[in-house]
């Protein structure tokens, strides 16, 4: 199975296709722009503040999509993807492929599921046994409650954020764009695995400012953001490894979506403090 490393590392290559400093600078610029563009509507465009959570997230969805598209175009220009004659090879640079799709998606997803398997099963068991236990309520079957939950989730803007927008935009920018740049910059694979997630982690520093604006204690805010930074680095190691090993964007997109939603399902009250 071809991987991103196989596209950019060849035995006969004497020097990297992109200067290492340029690759790092491009990654840093993408990380900064991904966060900065979220504040563009109010700071640059002088739009009025959103009046609801739905309007706030819809605005951020547009900003994240714009930043992701700009990062893809910048990466394609720096790596001269346009010069690749075959469209499938050009898309493979970003991990968009069709070969071995089932293996690349199913195996990482199953592997990630093992981390939360015990808590997830316990949570589902609690949900199943609690059906119809409330006083004065008719007994509701587990399947009916699950169907009701799915219908409610489809219309929930937070579900769209956690299941679709965040996994697609974050993994596209911080994995599918940055990893090829660093590979072309001549960095070793293990260096990319352990160092590239730092860009993703530092992109969450804006939460410290937002929590402070909400009136939270500075030390408490620092603790919350510190835990989040550490967790994103650890998860980033795993996500970058998956991308380099499989060469598929969908492999870590599914893992990221699973991680976000299972953590919110298992620890809903704790995650209120870590909401982006």
DSSP labels, 49-109:
PPSSHHHHHHHHHHHHHHHHHHHHHHHHHHTTGGG-S-HHHHHHTTT---TTHHHHHHHHH
Per-residue pLDDT, 178: 94
Q: Would you state the structure tokens that stand for residue 149, as one six-digit string?
A: 């939950």
CA distance 112 to 268: 19
- Selecting among 9, 58, 100, 204, the annotated active-site residue is 204
Q: Using alpha carbons, list the distances in angstroms from residue 149 to 143, 145, 152, 154.
A: 10, 6, 5, 9
> Is 170 known to be catalytic?
yes
Per-residue model confidence as pLDDT tens for the chain (276 residues): 555 655 555 444 556 678 889 999 999 999 999 999 998 898 888 889 888 888 999 999 999 999 999 999 999 999 988 877 778 888 888 888 888 778 777 887 777 777 767 766 776 777 667 655 554 444 556 667 667 777 877 788 887 887 788 888 988 999 999 999 999 999 999 999 999 999 988 888 888 888 877 788 888 888 888 888 888 888 889 888 888 888 887 776 666 655 555 555 544 434 443 444
pLDDT for position 191? 93
Taking every pair of Cα atoms in the chain, the longest distance, rounded to a whole number of angstroms, is: 75
How many C-beta neighbours within 10 Å does residue 39 have?
13
pLDDT at position 270? 41
Angle at which helices 101-129 and 142-154 pack, to 10 degrees? Answer: 120
Per-residue confidence (pLDDT) for residue 271, from 0 to 100? 41
Is the Cβ–Cβ distance between 179 and 242 less than 8 Å?
Answer: no
Tallying the residues shown for the chain, one arrives at 276
Q: Which residue has the tokens 């722009």?
A: 33
CB-based contact 5:244 (threshold 8 Å) = yes
Say if residues 60 and 38 touch (Cβ distance below 8 Å): yes
Asked about 212 being catalytic, the answer comes back as: no
The C-alpha atoms of residue 157 and residue 267 are separated, in whole angstroms, by 19
């Amino acid at each position: 199975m071809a991987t991103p490393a196989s596209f950019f590392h060849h035995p006969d290559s004497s020097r990297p296709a992109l200067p290492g400093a340029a690759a790092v600078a491009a990654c840093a610029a993408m990380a900064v722009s991904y966060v900065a563009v979220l504040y563009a509507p109010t700071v640059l465009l002088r739009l009025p503040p959103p009046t609801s959570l739905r309007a706030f997230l819809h605005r951020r969805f547009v900003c994240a999509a714009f930043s992701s598209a700009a990062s893809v175009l910048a990466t394609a220009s720096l790596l001269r993807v346009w010069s690749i004659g075959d469209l499938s090879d050009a898309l493979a640079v970003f991990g968009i492929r069709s070969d071995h799709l089932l293996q690349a998606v199913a195996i990482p997803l199953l592997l990630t599921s093992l981390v939360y398997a015990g808590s997830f099963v316990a949570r589902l068991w609690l949900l199943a046994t609690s059906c119809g236990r409330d006083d004065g309520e008719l007994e509701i079957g587990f399947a009916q409650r699950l169907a009701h939950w799915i219908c409610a989730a489809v219309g929930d803007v937070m579900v769209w954020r956690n299941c679709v927008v965040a996994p697609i935009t974050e993994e596209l920018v911080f994995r599918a764009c940055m990893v090829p740049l660093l590979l072309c910059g001549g960095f070793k694979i293990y260096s990319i695995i352990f160092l590239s997630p730092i860009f993703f982690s530092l992109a969450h520093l804006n939460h410290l400012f937002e929590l402070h604006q909400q009136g939270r204690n500075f030390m408490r805010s620092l603790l919350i953001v510190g835990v989040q930074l550490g967790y994103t680095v650890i998860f980033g190691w795993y996500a970058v490894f998956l991308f380099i090993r499989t060469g598929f964007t969908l492999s870590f997109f599914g893992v990221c979506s699973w991680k976000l939603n299972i953590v919110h399902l298992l620890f809903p009250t704790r995650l209120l403090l870590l909401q982006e």
